[in-house]
Structure 1
Amino acid sequence: MRYYVLDRGDQLSVELSEQFHKLAAENGFKMDAESPEIVISIGGDGTMLHAFHTFIDRIPSIAFVGIHTGHLGFYADWKANEIPELIQLMVGHKTPEQPRPRIVNYPLIDIQVQKKSGTSSYICVNEFTLKGVDGTVVAQVDINDQQFEMFRGDGICISTPAGSTAYNKSLGGAIIHPSIEALQITEIASINNRVFRTAGSPLVLPKHHHCDIYSRKDQRLLLTIDHINHPVDDLISVRCQVAKQKVSFIRYRPFPFWNRVRNAFLG
């Protein structure tokens, strides 16, 4: 098995990374930074996002596993003291009772950014946000090539189902199960008056729909793809739609999404 480990860089995560390498070597695993089959993230959900973007060009051929150094997150199935158990499950099936690993696939969002200086493409696993740098954002929002609303406010958040539990939730967005191939549009402090009118509630678009956000004034904007910031001062438009590819996570034991939600928010 070819694997790669990406850790958060703090002392505990580095120590756990070293432990994983030692046990992996003892069981015949091969460390491969170029074309791993499995990528192990050690840290938090932010570390998993970093791992995802590190291997963004190889997403279809990689499965991810998360080890959390604090509490269990939405992308981490394993605690710090469970690495030996994880390794044994990764080794293979020793007994009929050992469950077979399951691959779960989460939808992603395809982002096409058009600027006066050129175009760029991105993929995000959690969310894309557009915010103003110097003041409020003024933007036209189209759905399926028809004008839907004229927005003025702090910004707009476009989230995946997996990302619906992150920034989207704090904005009042709905929690969406990752088996649903959709994206969610959530306003960030919209202003409503006679000129600027918005729906005032989150919108959920299926995978065969798309939305376009058009900049409607000269404005400095901050585009954020997950944890990566892109300042832009010449934006024309952004197109968002459910991506064709998905991100894969390998589950060596059951950990249902709604259990994760309950553990994260209800205790």
Structure 2
Amino acid sequence: MRIAIYSNLGEASNIVATSLKNQIEKSSDLVIDGLNPEIVISVGGDGTLLSAFHHYQDINNKVRFIGIHTGHLGFYTDWRDYEVNDLIASLENDNGQSVTYPLLDIKVNYPGGGSADIGLALNESTLKQISGSMVADVYIKNQLFESFRGDGLCVSTPSGSTAYNKSVGGAIINPRLNAIQMAEISSINNRVFRTLGSPLIIAPDEWIKIVPKSTHRTILTCDHQVITTRKVASVEFRISQKRIAFAQYRHTQFWRRVSNSFIGEVNLDD
């Protein structure tokens, strides 16, 4: 089986990555292949796994991901830095088992015509204005839902619902649900301007379109990477037909993962 190792530059991660590489090279069943892998092992934290996902996005349908945690908080990482030997044994006994999560499709329409499929988000995409408050109309499935005024809007996947979405008051969604969510970022609500003020969870056959009303340039991000600062006519978000796959040798139950990450170590039944 072909393995790629994607590590951050931290000392602890480099030690783990080196150990992984040495043990894979000794195995008769495994081989290092950074160009055409079947398995991508991310060594670091959630940020490293996000980077690995975008690095291999073009072959996302052919790979499964594994996360090794070497930092302080790893929501996507099921393995710890001291479990390299156990992971190697699981790789050598792999039978293709996996669990998949929804992804977010992002499409930008530019003034005067022209559009671009920006790509896929594992966590979220945000739309903000470079200066001042952003004013935008929000459509759900091509029907006007509300006019927004505030700092911006965040559209997230279920697995990304525990990231930036959570910090702006969004709901946490189990990745078993094929849905996306929109949460407001510091909306302005008074007698003149009014929004729902609650996160929206969108069904699989629906999509969100945001149409900025201001002439100012906007900032569009994908998993916290700035994608464009050009003025946009609209941005469309929908559930992708593609999904990310994680090798399921040992996959932590979602609500246990949430509880352990944000509340503390507890015992919950699977």
Per the alignment, residue 11 of structure 1 pairs with 11
What is aligned with 1:257?
254
TM-score with structure 2 length normalisation? 0.93
Q: Deviations over 1:217-253 (max 9, x none)?
A: 1012111100311242321000000000100001212
Question: Partner of 2:160 in structure 1?
Answer: 163
2-side partners of 1:85 and 1:19: how far apart?
A: 12
Q: Which residue of 2 aligns with 1:103?
A: 98
Q: Superposition RMSD on alpha carbons, in Å?
A: 1.4
1:34-183 aligned within 5 A? 34-71=35-72, 73-92=74-93, 102-116=97-111, 118-121=114-117, 122-183=119-180
Query: Shift of residue 119 of structure 1?
Result: 2.0
* 1:45 Cα deviation from its structure 2 partner: 0.2
Q: CA deviation at 1:196?
A: 2.8
- Residue 27 of structure 1 aligns with an amino acid whose one-letter code is S
CA–CA distance in structure 1, aligned partners of residues 136 and 115 of structure 2: 18
Rounded Cα–Cα distance in structure 1 between residues aligned with 2:35 and 2:261: 34
Return closer, same or farther for 1:231/1:245 CA change in 2, 3 Å cut-off: closer
Segment of structure 1 superposing worse, 142-151 or 114-123: 114-123
1:40-66 deviation digits (Å, cap 9, x = unpaired): 000000000000000111111110000
Aligned AA (1:12): A
- Equivalence for 1:97: none
After TM superposition, give the deviation of residue 89 of structure 1 in Å: 1.2
**What amino acid does structure 2 have at the position aligned with 1:106?**
Y
2:268 maps to none
Query: How many Å separate the matches in 1 of 2:191 and 2:147?
Result: 11
Q: For residues 125-172 of structure 1, what are the alpha-carbon distances to aligned partners after superposition, in whole Å with 9 as ceiling and x for unaligned?
A: 000001111111111000011100000100000000000001111111
Mark the CA change 1:138 to 1:144 in structure 2 (over 3 Å): closer, same or farther. Answer: same
| Identity rate, percent | 44
CA distance in 1, matches of 2:191, 2:234: 24
**SS in structure 2 opposite 1:264?**
helix
Aligned to 1:25: 25
Q: What is the number of equivalent residue pairs in this alignment?
A: 261
SS in 2 for 1:172: coil
In the alignment, structure 1 residue 233 sits paired with structure 2 residue 234: no
Counterparts of 1:199-214 in structure 2, within 5 Å, are 199-214=196-211
CA–CA distance in structure 1, aligned partners of residues 179 and 165 of structure 2: 14
Question: Once the 2 structures are TM-superposed, how far is the Cα of residue 101 of structure 1 from its aligned partner?
Answer: 6.5
In structure 2, distance between residues paired with 1:192 and 1:233: 27
Q: In 2, distance between residues paired with 1:71 and 1:10?
A: 13
CA contact (8 A) 1:127 1:159 kept: yes
Consecutive unaligned residues of structure 2, counting only runs of 5 or more, are 265-270
Q: What amino acid sits opposite 2:115 in the alignment?
A: T
Measure how far apart 1:195 and its partner are: 4.3
Query: Please, which runs of 5 or more residues in structure 1 have no aligned partner?
Result: 94-99
Contact 2:174 2:254 in 1 (8 A): yes
Which of 26-35 and 200-209 deviates more? 26-35
* Alpha-carbon distance in 2 for matches of 1:128, 1:72: 21
